[in-house]
Structure 1
Amino acid sequence: MQIPGFKSLEEVEQAFGVKIPDSEREKLQEVIEKHPMFIPDYYARLIDWSDPNDPIKNIIFPSLDELDVSGSYDTSGEKENTVLTGLQHKYKETALLLVTNRCAGYCRHCFRKRLVGIPTNETLKLFDRAVEYIKEHPEITNVLISGGDPLVLPTDVIEYFLSELSKIPHLKFIRFGSRVPVFYPMRIYEDTKLLEVFSKYSTPERRVYLVTHFNHPNEVTKEARKAVDSLIRAGVPVSNQTVLLKGVNDTPEVLATLMKEITSAGVIPYYVFQCRPVSRVKTHFQVPLKEGYWIVEGAKRMLDGHAKRFKYIMSHKTGKIEIVGVMGDEIFLKYHQAKNPENVGKFFRMKLTPNAGWLDDLEPVEEEVCAT
């Protein structure tokens, strides 16, 4: 599928009258050679190119901050959970399929920067073998089809995925992880075949869900709303995973407005993720946990009902950890999901250092010793 857009600095300059300083051009080119740029034409037109701090630009346009390689390219332990090329099985109930390394646009905060938009050996090569693995593991109740972005693939391929997975009796639901409703929504509402496929396979017996990724209120356009509405009318519920990003949505007001807008569009807030300490992302986008907690709680105070149902989560290599509370210099955490099933629901606390942005940055709490 061809999406019109911009792959080079020169194309952006010509289209929008932008002048990139010569002092930055060479270094930005170095960034792009490592992690390609692609800005869909539709999405590029949401940017105020005259504003150096435009939040949409921050999401999609390369930055000199990406030269900082602090962090890791695999913060969630995906390599150790890969059982077949392109198939991960971290949580016993869920199989994750990486079906492509392409996206409709390349987010600069992507936690899979190690593979998205560049040659990789991590995406699925043999779909039928993955199906056999899922058949052989009846504890798997759901499949998440991700990548890259599966909705950039041809509709016939998407239909094949659904037709084969729908034959597995112990699967209760199938999810697609896609930012297409945000980056290129017309892919959804203009493709009647795609909507027919979703309608065919999303049934009362086995629902198909779409998990998308709105990060800023400016992304909730009339086109995006139309894409969401088309999915809902095709029987596909839509939920949202936001990433808390410095320079994009790191105020209670912006985060609350985002949740109000997506809820009004029919998208259910699901998670707000702590930005992962990914190489070329960590110093650019990550908000310290101490600040992040109060941003999230400040936003929730402005919300009610469905708009405030989301959880603030760290997707750590040991599991999804909910950030429950902060008191003084301590942070309270709970395993919302865990690689080790015995840890699910485990509640614990850590010492919160001022700049800590991840579980590994926190320190153990020194337990008080009672006098005898």
Structure 2
Amino acid sequence: MKIPGFSRIEEIESKFNISIPKEEKKKLKRVVEKHPMFIPDYYANLINWEDPKDPIKNIIFPSLDELNVSGSYDTSGEKENTVLTGLQHKYRETALLLVTNRCAGYCRHCFRKRLVGIPTDETLKLFDAALEYIKGHPEITNVLISGGDPLVLPTDVIEYFLGELSKVPHLKFIRFGSRVPVFYPMRIYEDEKLLDVFSKYSKPERRVYLVTHFNHPREVTREARKAVDSLIRSGVPVSNQTVLLKNVNDSPETLAGLMKELTSAGVIPYYVFQCRPVKRVKSHFQVPLKKGYEIVEKAKQMLDGHAKRFKYIMSHKTGKIEIVGIIGNEIYLKYHQCKNPKKVGKLFKRILTPNAGWLDDLKPVNREEVFV
């Protein structure tokens, strides 16, 4: 699928009549050589290019902060949970398929920065082999189709995935992870065939879900709402995963505003993720856990019950860890999901320091982890 947009800095300068200093542009090109830039035309027009601190720009336009390589390219242990090329099985009930390395736009905070938009051997090569694995593991109740962004694939391919997975009797639902409703919503509401495919396979006995990724209230446009409405009318519930990002949504007012807009559009708030300590992302976007918790709780005070159903989550290599609360210098955590199923629901605490941004930055209260 061809999406109109910009992949070169000079194209942005020409289109929006801006000028980037020569030395800065030289360094930005080094960033783009490592991690490509693509800004859909639709999304580029949401940016105030005269504002150097524009939050939408911060999400999608390369930054000199990306030259900082502190962190890791695999913060969630995806490599160790890969059972076949492009198929991960970290949590007992869920199989994850990475079906493409392409997206409708390249977020600068992407936690799969190691593979998105660049040549990779991590995406699915043989769907049939993955299908046989899923069939052979009846404990798998759901499949998450991700990437990259699966909705950039041809509709015929999406239909094939759904058709084959729908034949697996122990699958209760199928999910797509996609930022297309944000980056290029017309791909959804202008493609009647795609909506027909979703209607065909999203049924009361086995629902198809779409998990999307809005980060700022200004992304919830008239076009985005139309895409969401088209999905809902096709029988596809839509939920949202937000990442807490420095200089994007790191204020209670912005985060609460986002949740209000999403709820009004029919999108279910699902997770607010702590930004992962990814190389070329950590120093640029990560908010300390102490500040992040304060932002989330103050935002919740501004919201009604429907809009604050989300959980503040850290997607660690050991599992999804909910940030439950802070008392003094101690942070209380709970395994919302875990690679070791025996730890699911287990509560534990760590010593919190002001600049800690990840579980690995926190010191145990005792020499050994104590679970409650």
TM category, shorter: over 0.9
Amino acid in the other structure paired with 1:362: L
Alignment of 1:239-318 (within 5 A): 239-318=239-318
Q: SS in structure 2 opposite 1:225?
A: helix
Query: TM-score scaled to structure 1, two decimals?
Result: 0.98
Amino acid in the other structure paired with 1:184: Y
Question: What is the alpha-carbon distance in structure 1 between the residues aligned to residue 6 and residue 295 of structure 2?
Answer: 33
Amino acid in the other structure paired with 1:351: I
Question: What is the alpha-carbon distance in structure 2 between the residues aligned to residue 162 and residue 129 of structure 1?
Answer: 15
Matched, 1:137 2:137: yes
Question: What is the alpha-carbon distance in structure 2 between the residues aligned to residue 283 and residue 73 of structure 1?
Answer: 13
Q: SS in structure 2 opposite 1:242?
A: strand
Alignment of 1:287-366 (within 5 A): 287-366=287-366
> How far off is 1:24 after superposition?
0.2
Question: What is the alpha-carbon distance in structure 2 between the residues aligned to residue 129 and residue 104 of structure 1?
Answer: 27
Question: What is the alpha-carbon distance in structure 2 between the residues aligned to residue 240 and residue 162 of structure 1?
Answer: 21
- 2:84 maps to 84
Matched, 1:210 2:210: yes
- 2:17 maps to 17
- 1:8 maps to 8
- 1:30 maps to 30
- 2:95 maps to 95
Amino acid in the other structure paired with 1:196: D
> How far off is 1:353 after superposition?
0.9
Deviations 1:6-25 (A, max 9, x none): 00000000100010111201
Deviations 1:172-199 (A, max 9, x none): 0000000000000000000000000000
> How far off is 1:233 after superposition?
0.1
Structure 2, unmatched stretches of 5+, are 368-372
Amino acid in the other structure paired with 1:30: R
- 2:168 maps to 168
Question: What is the alpha-carbon distance in structure 1 between the residues aligned to residue 319 and residue 364 of structure 2?
Answer: 18
Structure 1, unmatched stretches of 5+, are 368-372
Q: SS in structure 1 opposite 2:364?
A: coil
> How far off is 1:305 after superposition?
1.8
Question: What is the alpha-carbon distance in structure 2 between the residues aligned to residue 248 and residue 327 of structure 1?
Answer: 27
> How far off is 1:366 after superposition?
4.1
> How far off is 1:354 after superposition?
1.1
- 1:370 maps to none
Amino acid in the other structure paired with 2:280: R
User: Identity of paired residues, percent?
Assistant: 84
Q: SS in structure 2 opposite 1:305?
A: coil
Amino acid in the other structure paired with 1:183: F
Q: SS in structure 2 opposite 1:161?
A: helix
Deviations 1:290-328 (A, max 9, x none): 000000000000001210000000000000000000111
Question: What is the alpha-carbon distance in structure 1 between the residues aligned to residue 291 and residue 348 of structure 2?
Answer: 20
Question: What is the alpha-carbon distance in structure 1 between the residues aligned to residue 366 and residue 237 of structure 2?
Answer: 45
After TM superposition, the runs of 4+ consecutive aligned structure 1 residues lying more than 6 A away are: none
Question: What is the alpha-carbon distance in structure 1 between the residues aligned to residue 25 and residue 293 of structure 2?
Answer: 36
- 1:72 maps to 72
Query: TM-score scaled to structure 2, two decimals?
Result: 0.98
Question: What is the alpha-carbon distance in structure 2 between the residues aligned to residue 366 and residue 170 of structure 1?
Answer: 42
Question: What is the alpha-carbon distance in structure 2 between the residues aligned to residue 358 and residue 18 of structure 1?
Answer: 37
Question: What is the alpha-carbon distance in structure 1 between the residues aligned to residue 183 and residue 341 of structure 2?
Answer: 36
Question: What is the alpha-carbon distance in structure 2 between the residues aligned to residue 306 and residue 152 of structure 1?
Answer: 31
